[in-house]
A and B are shown apart, each in its own frame.
Chain A
Amino acid sequence: MAAHINRRDFLRLAGLGGVVFASGLAHSASAATSKDSKLEEFYWVQLSDTHWGFEGPPVNPDAKGTLRKAVQEVNRLPHKPEFVVFTGDLTHTTDDPAERRKRMTEFRDIVAGLDVKTVKFMPGEHDAALDRGKAYRELFGEPSYTFEHKGIHFIVLDNVSDPAAMIGDVQLAWLKAHLAKLDKNARIVVFTHRPLFDLYPQWDWATRDGAQAVDLLMPFANVTVFYGHIHQEHHQMTGHIAHHAAKSLIFPLPAPGSLPKRQPIPWNAAEPYKGLGFRSVEAAAESASKYEVTEYPVNKA
């Protein structure tokens, strides 16, 4: 409880008040997750779209320093997160398989500096689409998996190793079989790279068969999705399921459809690192579908 108060105090003093988001079916929003599990309060950190290897001074003259700054910022948090998750596009794409592995190795070495016990990864299309995830698997393991942490069932979905941006029938069957084992009130968090819904297909901000995954998740009362890909904070509901997109750590992109073209927002020397950042996500103890999301900048390191 003391840690809880201290963390809240820190956020307040740092002017970083989080926003509480609730998903879940109305009748079960504050229900226990299942008969034999109790809710625990804890938090994790989400970093996304680091694009290690990207070069483009007009949009980020500190492309080699931003990720390191983010690592320092995470390490400065007064309370260690339970884990850190990277939601894809760890590296910027390259046609050269050797360079791809070099970038992944460098990325892995840098984030090894995170002072946390557990770091979870998943690929983005920049990491995995050109070789169907071969290099990613060599360096980081399977691109889709599940894990449990303090009463939450986490599911990592790969919607990028297929260059057509599909989850695919095999993975969907795996997801279906996996969900069949869970209580309908289970507390479920999905991590993925691309939006599972049609956020803005004109800019390829969608997953071609994402609706099938959402359909499979729909019978579950407490599901929340955290993803990346669009390089900005974004929050949307599909039915009772909340979807939260994270900022990038290399360059921001414009709001969906706000400009004729999807292109990086140029660096502003007067406000360096504007639009970049990472977030903490606190799982609430009082509700299975409530999360407090706090956005952090990277320009303090």
Chain B
Amino acid sequence: MNTRNLVVRSIASALAVVLLVGAGSLVFAKAKDKGERVISIKVKRFEYSPKEITLKKGVPVVLELKSLDVPHGFNLPELGVRADVLPGLTARVRIAPTRTGRFVFHCDIFCGTGHEELEGAIVVKE
């Protein structure tokens, strides 16, 4: 099962990367057309930069995420957003906040000793 497992995982990963790049480009093109703000976030072990982002309720933005080292995740469950942030690729997710509050995002791809501390927050204001 191990060799087959690895082959299937490799193919699945390659397909996921293709889909990720395609989906990200589409998100970016649409955002550009609409003149939406693009916010760049860098991720490395064990820090998102910026760590906190303030948004305005009702104003959509695109987050553009890049990993500076190993694969990371960007998971914002309360707003239903997640992405793989893989080295060498740009992950893009669109957020259209409809409610105010502080929403924590975290890395959901285990990345090392400080993985559990790798988190940040989106603050949505009126």
A118 within 8 A of B: no
Q: Are B1 and A174 in contact (CB under 8 A)?
A: yes
Q: Are A202 and B104 in contact (CB under 8 A)?
A: yes
User: A3 to chain B: closest CB distance in Å?
Assistant: 39
B12 within 8 A of A: yes
A262 within 8 A of B: yes
B24 within 8 A of A: no
A69 to B78, CA, bound (A): 40
Q: Are B77 and A163 in contact (CB under 8 A)?
A: no
User: A132 to chain B: closest CB distance in Å?
Assistant: 8
Q: Are B1 and A201 in contact (CB under 8 A)?
A: no
Chain B contact residues, majority secondary structure: mixed
| Residue from B5, B109, B116 in contact with A164 in the complex, judged by beta carbons closer than 8 Å | B109
| Contact A165 B113, CB 8 Å, known A201-B77, A202-B77, A202-B104 | no
Task: Give the residue name and chain of the A residue nearest to B104 (CB).
Answer: A202
A213 to B78, CA, bound (A): 23
A93 to B104, CA, bound (A): 24
Within 8 A of B (CB), among A254-301: 260-262
Q: Are B113 and A94 in contact (CB under 8 A)?
A: yes
Q: Are A168 and B9 in contact (CB under 8 A)?
A: yes
Q: Are A169 and B106 in contact (CB under 8 A)?
A: no
Q: Are B113 and A170 in contact (CB under 8 A)?
A: no
Q: Are B113 and A202 in contact (CB under 8 A)?
A: no
| Contact A202 B112, CB 8 Å, known A170-B9, A174-B1 | no
A148 within 8 A of B: no
Q: Are A93 and B109 in contact (CB under 8 A)?
A: no
Q: Mark B90-126, 1 if CB is under 8 A from A, else 0.
A: 0000000000000010101111110110010000000
Q: How many residues from A make CB contacts under 8 Å with B?
A: 24
User: B13 to chain A: closest CB distance in Å?
Assistant: 10
Q: Are A204 and B12 in contact (CB under 8 A)?
A: no
Q: Mark B49-85, 1 if CB is under 8 A from A, else 0.
A: 0000000000000000000000101010110000010
A168 to B7, CA, bound (A): 12
- By a CB distance below 8 angstroms, the chain A residues around B112 are 93, 95, 130
Which interface residue of B73, B110, B111, B115 has the most chain A CB atoms within 10 A?
Answer: B110
Q: Are A169 and B104 in contact (CB under 8 A)?
A: no
User: A101 to chain B: closest CB distance in Å?
Assistant: 16
B34 within 8 A of A: no
| Residue from A160, A169, A174 in contact with B12 in the complex, judged by beta carbons closer than 8 Å | A169
Q: Mark B1-14, 1 if CB is under 8 A from A, else 0.
A: 10011001100100
Task: Give the residue name and chain of the B residue nearest to A92 (CB).
Answer: B113
Q: Are B108 and A204 in contact (CB under 8 A)?
A: yes
A168 to B4, CA, bound (A): 12
Sorted nearest first, the 9 A-B pairs with minimum C-beta distance are: A129-B110, A201-B77, A163-B110, A170-B5, A125-B110, A164-B109, A163-B109, A170-B8, A202-B77
Sample of 17 further A-B pairs with CB below 8 A, known A93-B113, A164-B110 = A93-B112, A93-B115, A95-B112, A95-B113, A130-B112, A163-B71, A163-B109, A168-B5, A170-B8, A174-B1, A201-B77, A204-B75, A204-B106, A204-B108, A204-B116, A208-B108, A262-B116
Binding site for A on B (CB under 8 A): 1, 4-5, 8-9, 12, 71, 73, 75, 77-78, 84, 104, 106, 108-113, 115-116, 119
